[in-house]
């Protein structure tokens, strides 16, 4: 026990301030020394004035049995009298204290002190529940006990933190005995927390109060609880911890495939894992993309098998074989066009060729349709490649043969294997490929037992076949279907796996809710990488996976032909079938090429995100495909991803090898031509390449001609003639503009001078013209319309000379009009005083003063030193782009590009440049002595040059400087706006669509050279072609006669 403090006793009328004053301290210090006492102090109560504890009064010993000694109150007693009778030295105050303040309420017959409170029969203390504003002192007084006793009896009470920290509804002991039971939830014997299921309208505060814990406790206990993101986001049905311990499992979600909410309905096992080591999302679904695989705290993201990216570190050793496999559609010989027979297959390009498809008969023998038997025999006679028979296919898994594979692998494997061995021997084949689409898939007639039985078939086939024969299967690039394959185990017995990454999307997406009917490329590269990641993570050696490449397009019927974003959808109705393939939603490369050639294209562009070409055509048709360039890039990617090679569907669809009528193959194309006229009448498969050759030759000639023209001085001499002539004409054009628009942009005031007769001292003609009257004023000012005819010095006005002032109404509006409607930039204008008339009285004077003249003030005028830019300075750097473009057109790789797009992308720009250089030729033919018509031809020549400069300089430069637009517009005005050619050039210079076209086109010429990658060049050719295709006929014609003429010639050649 600490030392006693010095005290002061509370007397009547005291407050804490008065007691503190007697103590010689501040009230704040008194309250700190006596916590929870102020302001409720009582008369007779002692308070500490210094540090320490209140001194305990000397209390005499009680009886031996623990009871106190007593005195009975008699009439006339006070505490002093009773204390005297006790005869044990007790004083009055001590007597009052040990009797709980009885001195103020003595009654005759009572005995001093009351019995001390005791525990109940079970040893439990008496309990008091704290109310608002309760203090220990008040509770002690009401229960006739002391504050010290309250503290002692509650030492073991779970909620006790001292008299200074009482809480409403807290239960405390007010007697000796066992304290109230701890109601807080406890972990179970296995270390699991006390779980609580959140109910409607629950909040953390209410749950905490009901369970004797705090909100902070709930936050702490649930740091590792499934999907816990804090008290602010409680979810009904969520299982949370109300104690320490392991977090509870969440409620079961009957639809969950994996994770903590999943359950095996047969075994009752919880927390399932995804097949193929796929990621498990927070909602219990399996997948391989970001929404499944990215980890977040407390399983609010991926739950298991988490992580993104292709596992390069888990791929096969680099020493595995590299294959290039191609499928051959046996039914192609039955098509009315685009026929490819086995002997036309380019076997040198492939290590293996798969003949698609054989089937399985009702007796579980391999069966080849009679109508393709001859084709199959021709196929078997091929040499220079491995010949593989592919069994099954998508259609074979449709009724009525939908269950044939399931039945075979279940109980007829020996029969099937014997048939395989017999076929390999009798037909000189090199391998077998099985295309079962798809085992275990309920929507394809599968059963759960298919996976194990398919594995057994592959294992038994491998054991039965000679090692010289290859064994492969086709596998889907979809988790939904691939999970039905024991793919990692199967890969041990396979030479390679045909991974169908060429059919990621198709018309079937329409009925799948998680993919939806969105227009997506079936060969989307991002999704292809996700699929490769999935199969390698599933445990398949990367060296046994062949990357699927599509030599065809998947097409759709657009819901909205004008939609271009990622949310664009397709219709339930299939896209139009191809002319030769005859299948809706499926177009060969040849058919795509013919669509582009046919002129029904609405848009054709490269989608960089999907690494695919997109073509829209007709009214509502959409198709995605990969070009030869993209496919070559993907073959290189297969090596980088350490795969076993590539597999292509299908050889007979590839425009590199098919789509040519056999009779045309006997006729050779010319290796070179000099002009478009020489191409006319040639075979259609020759024309595109030769057209590109002519365009390249014409561009080379244009560049050479330009260098020749600027190397002599004639061009610069003639530019000076043009410049001088235009500078002399421009002020006239400005005056004409002011005559037509003065009142629109200016507020004019007129000062009219008259001759008053009272001021005339002579007769004659002047007297006849004077104004009579004494009130005549010689100067009369007022608002007036601006002059409709601009007057120059030397004019004579007999009806009274008129002076004007021009006051600009709106500066921005005026200069904007000059630039857009007239072509004069602000920095070429100054506001001047113009002398328009000399007074009659000054005529003949040798030194007339200012009063002799009539002035127009504030008249906008052309600055004397304005300049016209020489287009040669801008054309020279611009033609560097054309030089780079010429390299691209001459390059050996150009034939690997879609040539129709190459033609459309270059024809306008090349012949615009040619047209401009032709204009320079004409300029050089005109000398100094020129007549009006020749002058117009000179101006027209320069106009064509300016037109070429406009898109290169760009809209921003024109807006700032304005000189080029000035030159164009004023040249047209000088020619006369009715000039057909001049008006056309004016239109393109001031029109948004052709201007934007040229600006984009010429800039892209520099990005199609050999220095760029194949993919970049092809993408930029496509962009340039789309710019051209975006112009209507009128806009194309406005670019000049030569581009229009050449486009007409090319269209004529391609239409034949």
**795's tokens:** 């004019």
Strand pairing class (612-617; 621-625): antiparallel
Contacts of 113 (CB under 8 A, 6+ apart): 68, 70, 98, 99
CA-nearest of 603, 624, 629, 620 to 552 is 624
Residue with tokens 């090349």: 910
CA-nearest of 466, 355, 356, 452 to 413 is 452
Q: H or E segment at 761?
A: none
Beta strands (DSSP E) in 815-922 are 829-838, 853-862
Please say whether the beta carbons of 802 and 751 come within 8 A: yes
Please provide the size of the chain in residues: 1056
Residue with tokens 């997948």: 287
Question: Rg of the Cα trace of the chain?
Answer: 51
What one-character DSSP code corresponds to residue 553? E
In three state form, how does the secondary structure of 634-685 look? HHHHHHHCCCCEEEEECHHHCCCCCCCCHHHHHCCCCCCCCCHHHCCCCCHH
Cα(609)–Cα(1043) distance, rounded to whole angstroms?
34
Coil, strand or helix: which one is 134? coil
Contacts of 171 (CB under 8 A, 6+ apart): 127, 128, 129, 130, 157, 159, 180
CA-nearest of 991, 781, 952 to 874 is 952
Residue with tokens 């407390």: 298
How many Cα atoms occupy the beta-carbon half-sphere of 875 within 13 Å? 22
Please say whether the beta carbons of 350 and 328 come within 8 A: no
Tell me which long-range contacts 1018-1023 makes (C-beta under 8 A, separation of at least 24): 1018/606, 1018/627, 1018/629, 1018/630, 1018/897, 1018/898, 1019/606, 1019/608, 1020/905, 1021/897, 1021/898, 1021/901, 1021/902, 1021/905, 1022/604, 1022/605, 1022/606, 1022/613, 1022/898, 1022/901, 1022/905, 1023/605, 1023/606, 1023/905
Cα(1025)–Cα(906) distance, rounded to whole angstroms?
7
Cα(361)–Cα(382) distance, rounded to whole angstroms?
26
How many Cα atoms occupy the beta-carbon half-sphere of 1028 within 13 Å? 27
User: Residue 753: beta bridge partners?
Assistant: 779
Burial class (CB in 10 A: 0-12, 13-18, 19+), 668: exposed
Contacts of 10 (CB under 8 A, 6+ apart): 19, 41, 42, 43, 44, 45, 46, 47
Return the C-alpha torsion angle 1046, 1048, 1054, 1056, nearest 10. Answer: -130
The sheet with strand 746-753 has its strands ordered as 779-784, 746-753, 802-808, 853-862, 829-838
Residues catalogued as catalytic: 437
Please say whether the beta carbons of 276 and 482 come within 8 A: yes
Cα(968)–Cα(978) distance, rounded to whole angstroms?
15
Beta strands (DSSP E) in 667-776 are 746-753
């Amino acid at each position: 026990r600490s030392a006693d403090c010095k005290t002061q006793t509370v007397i009547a009328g005291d407050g804490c301030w008065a007691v503190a004053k007697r103590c010689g301290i501040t009230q704040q210090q008194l309250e700190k020394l006596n916590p929870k006492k102020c302001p409720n102090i009582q008369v007779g109560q002692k308070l500490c004035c210094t540090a320490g504890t209140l001194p305990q009064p000397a209390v005499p010993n009680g009886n031996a049995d623990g009871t106190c000694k007593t005195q009975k109150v008699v009439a006339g007693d006070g505490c002093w009298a009773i204390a005297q009778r006790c005869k044990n030295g007790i004083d009055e105050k001590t007597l009052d204290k040990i009797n709980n303040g009885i001195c103020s309420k003595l009654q005759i017959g009572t005995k001093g002190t009351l019995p001390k409170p005791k525990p109940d029969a079970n040893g439990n203390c008496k309990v008091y529940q704290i109310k608002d504003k309760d203090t220990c002192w008040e509770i002690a007084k009401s229960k006739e006990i002391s504050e010290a006793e309250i503290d002692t009896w509650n030492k073991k009470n779970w909620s006790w933190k001292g008299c200074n920290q009482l809480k409403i509804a807290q239960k405390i002991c007010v007697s000796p005995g066992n304290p109230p039971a701890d109601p807080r939830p406890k972990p179970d014997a296995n270390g699991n927390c006390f779980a609580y299921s959140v109910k409607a309208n629950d909040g953390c505060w209410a749950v905490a109060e009901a369970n004797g814990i705090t909100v902070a406790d709930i936050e702490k206990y649930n740091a590792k609880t499934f999907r816990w993101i804090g008290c602010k986001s409680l979810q009904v049905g969520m299982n949370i911890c109300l104690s320490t311990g392991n977090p509870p499992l969440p409620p079961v979600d009957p639809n969950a495939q994996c994770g903590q909410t999943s359950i095996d309905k047969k075994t009752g096992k919880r927390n399932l894992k995804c097949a193929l080591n796929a990621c498990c999302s927070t909602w219990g679904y399996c997948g391989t993309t970001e929404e499944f695989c990215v980890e977040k705290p407390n399983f609010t993201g991926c739950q298991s098998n988490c992580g993104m990216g292709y596992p390069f570190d888990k791929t096969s050793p680099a020493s595995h074989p590299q294959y290039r496999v191609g499928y051959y559609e046996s039914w192609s010989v039955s098509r009315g066009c685009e026929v490819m027979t086995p002997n036309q297959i380019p076997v040198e390009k492939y290590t293996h060729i798969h003949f698609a498809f054989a089937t399985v008969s009702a007796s579980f023998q391999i069966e080849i349709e009679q109508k393709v038997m001859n084709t199959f025999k021709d196929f078997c006679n091929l040499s220079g490649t491995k010949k593989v028979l592919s069994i099954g296919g998508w259609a074979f898994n449709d009724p009525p043969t939908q269950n044939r594979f399931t039945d075979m692998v279940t109980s007829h494997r020996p029969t099937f294997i014997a048939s395989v061995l017999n076929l390999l021997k009798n037909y000189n084949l090199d391998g077998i490929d099985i295309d079962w689409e798809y085992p275990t898939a309920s929507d394809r007639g599968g059963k759960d037992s298919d996976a194990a039985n398919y594995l057994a078939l592959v294992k038994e086939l491998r054991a039965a076949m000679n090692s010289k024969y290859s064994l492969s299967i086709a596998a889907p690039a979809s988790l939904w279907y691939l999970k039905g394959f024991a793919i990692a185990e199967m890969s041990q017995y396979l030479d390679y796996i045909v991974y169908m990454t060429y059919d990621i999307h198709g018309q079937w997406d329409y009925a799948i809710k998680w993919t939806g009917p969105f227009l997506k490329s079936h060969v989307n590269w991002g999704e292809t990488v996700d699929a490769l990641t999935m199969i390698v993570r599933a445990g398949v050696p990367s060296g046994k996976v062949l990357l699927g490449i599509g030599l065809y397009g998947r097409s759709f019927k657009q819901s909205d032909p004008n939609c271009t974003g990622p949310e664009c959808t397709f219709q339930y109705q299939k896209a139009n079938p191809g002319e030769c393939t005859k299948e809706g939603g499926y177009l060969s490369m040849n058919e795509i090429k013919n669509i582009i050639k046919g002129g029904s294209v609405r848009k054709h562009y490269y989608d960089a995100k999907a690494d695919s070409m997109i073509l829209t055509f007709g009214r509502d048709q959409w198709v995605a495909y990969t070009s030869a360039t993209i496919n070559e890039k993907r073959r290189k990617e297969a090596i980088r991803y350490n795969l076993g090679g590539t597999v292509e569907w299908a050889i007979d669809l590839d425009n590199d090898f098919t789509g040519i009528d056999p009779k045309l193959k006997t006729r050779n194309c010319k290796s070179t031509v000099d002009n478009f006229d020489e191409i006319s009448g040639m075979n259609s498969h020759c024309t595109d390449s030769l057209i590109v050759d002519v365009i390249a030759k014409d561009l080379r000639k244009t560049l050479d001609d330009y260098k020749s023209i600027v190397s002599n001085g004639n061009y610069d001499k003639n530019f000076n003639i043009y410049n001088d002539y235009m500078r002399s004409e421009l002020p006239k054009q400005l005056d004409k503009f002011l005559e037509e628009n003065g009142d629109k942009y200016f507020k004019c005031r007129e000062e009219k001078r008259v001759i008053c007769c009272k001021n005339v001292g002579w007769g004659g003609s002047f007297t006849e013209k004077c104004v009579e009257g004494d009130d005549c004023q010689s100067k009369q000012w007022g608002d007036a319309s601006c002059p409709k005819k601009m007057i120059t010095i030397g004019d004579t006005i007999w009806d009274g000379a008129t002076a004007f002032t021009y006051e600009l109404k709106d500066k921005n509006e005026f200069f904007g009009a000059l630039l857009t409607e007239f072509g004069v930039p602000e920095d070429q204008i100054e506001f001047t005083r113009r002398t328009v008339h000399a007074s009659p009285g000054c005529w003949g004077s040798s030194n007339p003063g200012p009063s002799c003249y009539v002035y127009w003030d504030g008249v906008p005028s052309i600055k004397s030193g304005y300049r016209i830019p020489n287009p040669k300075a801008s054309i020279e750097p611009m033609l560097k782009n054309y030089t780079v473009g010429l390299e691209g057109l001459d390059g050996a790789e150009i034939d690997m590009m879609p040539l129709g797009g190459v033609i459309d992308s270059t024809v306008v720009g090349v012949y615009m440049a040619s047209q401009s250089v032709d204009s320079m030729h004409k300029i050089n033919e005109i000398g100094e002595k020129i007549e009006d018509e020749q002058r117009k031809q000179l101006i027209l020549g320069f106009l064509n040059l300016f037109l070429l400069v406009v898109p290169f300089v760009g809209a921003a430069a024109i807006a700032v400087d304005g000189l080029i637009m000035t030159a164009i517009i004023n040249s047209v005005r000088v020619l006369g706006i009715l000039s057909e050619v001049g008006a056309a050039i004016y239109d393109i210079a001031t029109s948004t669509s052709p201007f934007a076209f040229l600006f984009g086109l010429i800039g892209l010429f520099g990005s199609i050279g050999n220095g760029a990658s194949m993919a970049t060049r092809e993408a930029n050719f496509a962009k340039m072609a789309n710019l051209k295709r975006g112009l209507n006929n009128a806009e194309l014609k406005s670019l000049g006669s030569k581009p229009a003429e050449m486009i007409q010639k090319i269209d004529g050649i391609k239409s034949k």
